[in-house]
Chain A
């Protein structure tokens, strides 16, 4: 090969490499001409990184929902088209949200799991007066100081998670006069959760024996486990997220620790990954595949048929959010965000596959619905890789107001920026 050939090939490779790096930030999706017979919905969720596995469930569920909506006649007689992107991180999420709204003219954006990305997407959505439905960002701040009129939350807020599982801890006598040891993911979600958890603990007479902040890239928990064993807590509380929960549970079993474990943040996929014998403790969850209602059974059936595995809780969020939007647009015969928002704020009811319908609370746009506390089954009782926990009944119970687990106005108040 001559030097000249080599030079051009090298130049070509360098250029291609440069392009690859640039396109990672702004992957071009095909520019389509606007057409009146299609309604587009933007779906943004992390598909890479530590929240990626959950994002994958979100995408599968949104696809399934759109398929069902189209089979039932679409929205206002028009076909629904789902534009899907990996939100990656807060900066990229806002860029992609901007493009979906301005160029692709989506009717609304659904998705996201990271609270930090939710915030940047909500800012773009508000600026462009486009509805954004958050299906996975938990932070209370998103429903409080960072709330936005154009953002609604199908995902429960941290307060709801804490109060749901907190009831179980109270019943088991693990709160009053007890020492908790907590591990908290060192980012917006974790900090918010720890704040809410401390409020709950102090309000009910418990105290923290120690609370370590864990960098989000930590995979080895041995150093933390040694500290936990040394402090002999009454309860170990996990405010971690994503694969970190799985890593922690596997290593907790490895080190043979037997203190009761619980957590305020949870996703069933992480319990499944920890597996039989490693998964322990009591955890709050927004929904799970064993809920015994006709709606949930139909959803689990359709999802399992399409993907050969049961849906996990993140799948429920994106499925329900897409269905809610379709129902609202069909009822209103309009896809305009301000009209949908007014409809939600007036307390429209939606079937959430649970025992009673839910509605968005006008004061902070949080979906009011039932939650569940799940408890790991002893290894001997586990029959398959999915059904590894037992569930509480719906929380709040049948005779209680849905609002009792949510943050009160005093705990977290929202004044929508005008």
Chain B
């Protein structure tokens, strides 16, 4: 394989990781603050994709890009208020069962409303085409996708690091009792975090609907790698998730690039195994006392 192709594969793998990032960041946030293992996260991704199909005939892809994640985030708040709230800081097995059931309900609901066969949806005309930089040719749509995803991740980082909101959330992750003792109720922050995390999953649904098959079980396809990313990165670590997502994309892309495509999925699990052997809390995992 030529050096240029290898370089392309490495770059493509890193870009690929960005999609996992959108899903995995939300998963990690919701888990670190409330202790909810959200198995329904993939379902919100699927709902985001289906909403894109519903909204874009009226408001175009741009309209869907704004509205669909907002609608999914609102749905997230409702679910948080009605269900998640009851399971904060209790045995994770309970939230696991709850969200597992929720994922099945969501998938069946999509199946009942839209039917089981995948629906067609294409990249909007104005976002088609290729970007050519020297010998490197890449899909223009993916460049746009990368831009949007990077902006969202950067925005989230600023929100968590630079604002009062972020300080409370981070304090809540570290020591919720102390935050409570200071007279701050974590409840509204939990709702906001659920909205952010689930909204990001919805956004990923919008961004991937034009290039993936849109079908009721599409959430299942993305949730497993997202969990792997969270585990590799380490719970509660923003940069851990970022690095792990890029690493997973890279490993997958390079395995295909060098001709071991059949093992590309297995390689990710092997990577997870290696990381866990040497760093049981993940690459940048912090100690979360209440789960140990």
Contacts and interface: CB of A to CB of B under 8 A. Distances in A.
Contacts of A50: 217
Contact of B221 (A17, A217, A250): A217
Interface in B166-225: 210-215, 217, 221-222, 224
Given A212-B259, A215-B265, A218-B264, A255 B2 contact: no
A256 B217 contact: no
A215 B264 contact: yes
Interface string A36-67: 00000000000111101101110000000000
A246 B9 contact: no
A87 B122 CA distance: 32
A191 B90 CA distance: 47
A156 interface: no
B137 interface: yes
A5 interface: no
A247 B212 contact: yes
A57 B118 CA distance: 12
Contact of B118 (A246, A251, A253, A277): A246
A219 interface: yes
A226 interface: yes
B140 to A, nearest CB: 9
A215 B224 contact: no
A114 to B, nearest CB: 15
B213 A247 contact: yes
B253 A243 contact: no
Contacts of B115: 56, 309
Find the residue from B93, B116, B119 having the highest chain A CB count within 10 A: B116
B8 interface: yes
A48 B217 contact: yes
Given A215-B265, A226-B8, A226-B12, A250 B116 contact: no
Interface string B1-38: 11001001100110110010000000000000000000
Contact of B16 (A20, A214, A222): A222
B119 A273 contact: yes
Contact of A246 (B15, B213, B253, B257): B213
Contacts of A275: 120-122
Contacts of A102: none
A57 B211 CA distance: 24
B74 interface: no
Interface residues of B, number: 52
A113 to B, nearest CB: 13
B265 A256 contact: no
A269 interface: yes
Contact of A273 (B1, B91, B213, B259): B213
A223 B120 contact: no
Contacts of B13: 223
Interface in B125-139: 128-130, 137, 139
A222 B12 contact: yes
A52 B262 contact: no
B224 A217 contact: yes
Interface string B249-282: 0001100110101101110000000000000000
B151 interface: no
Contacts of A250: 122, 210-213
B227 interface: no
Given A246-B118, A273-B119, A256 B129 contact: yes
Nearest to A272: B120
B97 A223 contact: no
B141 interface: yes
B159 interface: no
A87 to B, nearest CB: 15
Interface string B45-57: 0000000000000
Interface in A243-260: 243, 246-247, 250-251, 253-256
Nearest to B137: A229
Find the residue from B93, B128, B264 having the highest chain A CB count within 10 A: B264
Find the residue from B12, B215, B253 having the highest chain A CB count within 10 A: B215
Nearest to A219: B221
A110 B198 CA distance: 42
Contacts of B259: 212
B221 A223 contact: no
Interface string B99-134: 001000000000000011111111100001110000
A62 B1 CA distance: 50
Given A220-B16, A223-B13, A251-B211, A52 B217 contact: yes
B142 interface: yes
A47 B222 CA distance: 19
A309 B13 CA distance: 39
A342 to B, nearest CB: 37
A157 B98 CA distance: 43
Nearest to A277: B122
Nearest to A223: B256
A17 B2 CA distance: 53
A14 interface: yes
Contacts of B137: 229
B215 A256 contact: no
Contacts of B120: 272-276, 278, 385
23 contacts: A13-B94, A48-B217, A56-B115, A186-B262, A212-B261, A213-B261, A213-B262, A217-B224, A217-B265, A224-B256, A246-B213, A247-B211, A250-B122, A250-B210, A254-B141, A256-B128, A256-B130, A269-B118, A273-B119, A274-B213, A276-B120, A278-B122, A385-B120
